[in-house]
Amino acid sequence: MTFAQASNSNGSEHITANITVPCICQNTPSPHNLPAFLRLPRELRDLIYEHYVRVDGGYAYQFRTNKLTQSDGKPILLSLALASRQVASEMSGVALRTNTITFSAHFSETTREKAGLFHEAILQITKRKATLLNELAHRLLTSDMVEVAATSYPQFSSILDYWRVRGRNPTFTRTDCGEALSIWNDFIHFTLDLVSKHPKFVDHANIPAPVLYHYHGTQALDIKDTSLKPWNLVDSVELERLAIVAQVEEKQHWYNDNIRYSYSAASTALRFLHSVPKATRAAIRKIVLLEDRQSVAKPACHGRGFIPFCRENRNLRVERFVSLWKNAFPISQLRTPLYMIATPLFLESGTLDDDRLPANRTTKAVGTWVAEALALPSLGMPENSFTLVLDGNPTPEHTSEVFRVVQRDVAWQLALDTCYTRGLLPTPSWLDRRLGVGYMYEGLPDAVRNLSLNGSLIRCNFDPGSPYDVDSLLEEHRGWSAQDWEEGWATHEPSDFQTVPPLPPWHVLRWQNVII
């Protein structure tokens, strides 16, 4: 073939060159016999390759096939690479370097039950670890174990002291103590592993207790040995093992046919990255994660799964968009059971029509995502490799109004800390402060107050508003007692928010999308 005409993948233009297309087995021609295209300067050929492979909207991931397509779902066309060995070599990796790859949260009827089982297994194993440690730590935790755990997790030294001196505390199974939840779970796993080395660990785990699951034989060791990475999807064999360890292998009260159990966009992207060769991963430059619905297995921490890939490929950039309205903003705890049973007929009955986004739960919910992002650098995420985007679309102005609640709450956290520092209120213990009202997450106030449209680690695509003036807040509440602050904390104005068009009403937006 002595003439080739190749269109770029969006079909808008054609690159035409009088070139010879040799057989794959044919030797490379001498420089004097090269076709005209290959006699062009390499820099110009590279520009042609980039123009040829560039697709409007980049590439999209298809979960069913574990493959990429164009953003419109059409196949990726790279026929030019078949022209010759040299062209194929020069085009290697160009398409992935040029096009952004977008991953979305995935739901389908074929994966619904597996996703639900994975979610419950992760939750139950996490809960069982915390409960087991909380029950046994005061009996089996030695001073040497405390020293090792406190060295690795100094932020939780007060928890270790509590266990040694005062015994168990049921609160520890239901809290993250103001740290990223995944870091808290790391601490639980690490400390439980230390405690399990005590010669009486299995014996004590087999003794029934009021707050302890009853274990037989080595079941407690099975729980202890299960290291969870909820951002990595597992195959059927591993899922079955997790379900057995968590004792949720059968459909029970935890599973609901009304709920769309979805995998996070981060999990789907990691599934793809694990499946391709290192050389392929090295070519990727930008990944966009669209977390546009609530997902299974505590998705806020799933960014951790990208750390090894970003360390492997320092040119990789990951942007994770979490939709505030469709994902991060919470529903009312009192209404959760109604959402779980809400069939279409139930929804039409009007029972949920008056539901709204509750202001008093908003900051904690948003803070969960922010705290996990803040933890990434300390876990090894390279600088500028990962960005969390708080997505206020499609109603950014209304989102700004709601976000005033977040600005208000972090200001209160700062105000209370200032009261303790200045001696205006009795200083509580580290633990009492973390478990008391007015405290959300370590580092959250600064993160929110510095939030902007162009942050390197955390940013937003709406106006986050100006921070509250803490000194003015203290002056306004001069003379308040600790009880006054506690009572005032719950007084959010307004107390709830409804969506605005083009979003549907709040209860319709969140129907079938509530995962607890």
Take residue 425 and report the two structure tokens written for it: 């209120």
Is 265 within a domain?
no
- Amino acid (one-letter) located at 456: S
Q: How is residue 461 annotated by DSSP?
A: S
Q: How is residue 11 annotated by DSSP?
A: S
Is 270 within a domain?
no
91 and 116 belong to one structural domain: no
Is 351 within a domain?
no
191 and 81 belong to one structural domain: no
64 and 129 belong to one structural domain: no
Which one, of 316, 311, 351, lies nearest residue 334 by Cα? 351
Pairwise CA distance, residues 325 & 115, whole Å: 22
Domain boundary among 34, 67, 95: 95
Is 260 within a domain?
no
20 and 76 belong to one structural domain: yes
Q: Are 226 and 245 in contact (CB under 8 A)?
A: yes
154 and 227 belong to one structural domain: yes
116 and 231 belong to one structural domain: yes
Q: Give the range of the structural domain holding residue 198, as residue numbers without chain letter.
A: 109-246
55 and 145 belong to one structural domain: no
**Residue 3, pLDDT score:** 28
83 and 119 belong to one structural domain: no
192 and 220 belong to one structural domain: yes
22 and 56 belong to one structural domain: yes
The greatest distance separating any two alpha carbons of the chain, rounded to the nearest whole angstrom, comes to 90
Is 139 within a domain?
yes
Bridge partners of 358, per DSSP, are 496
Is 311 within a domain?
no
* Angle value at C-alpha 191, between 186 and 193, nearest 5 degrees: 100
Q: How many structural domains comprise the chain?
A: 2
Pairwise CA distance, residues 445 & 381, whole Å: 22
Confidence band, pLDDT 50/70/90 cuts, at residue 248: confident
Collapsing DSSP to helix, strand or coil, 174 comes out as coil
90 and 118 belong to one structural domain: no
Domain boundary among 192, 225, 246: 246
Pairwise CA distance, residues 112 & 176, whole Å: 28
Whats the size of the chain, residue-wise?
516
pTM above 0.85, yes or no: yes
Q: Using one digit for the tens of pLDDT, what is the confidence trace for 145-192?
A: 999 999 999 999 999 999 988 888 878 877 888 999 999 999 999 999
Q: Are 291 and 323 in contact (CB under 8 A)?
A: yes
Instruction: Write the DSSP string, 414-439.
Output: HHHHHHHHTTSSPPPPHHHHHHSTT-
142 and 34 belong to one structural domain: no
Is 348 within a domain?
no
**Residue 18, pLDDT score:** 32
Domain boundary among 95, 125, 146: 95
Is cis: bond before 494, omega within 30 of 0? yes
Q: Using one digit for the tens of pLDDT, what is the confidence trace for 294-336?
A: 999 999 999 999 999 999 999 999 999 999 999 999 999 888 8
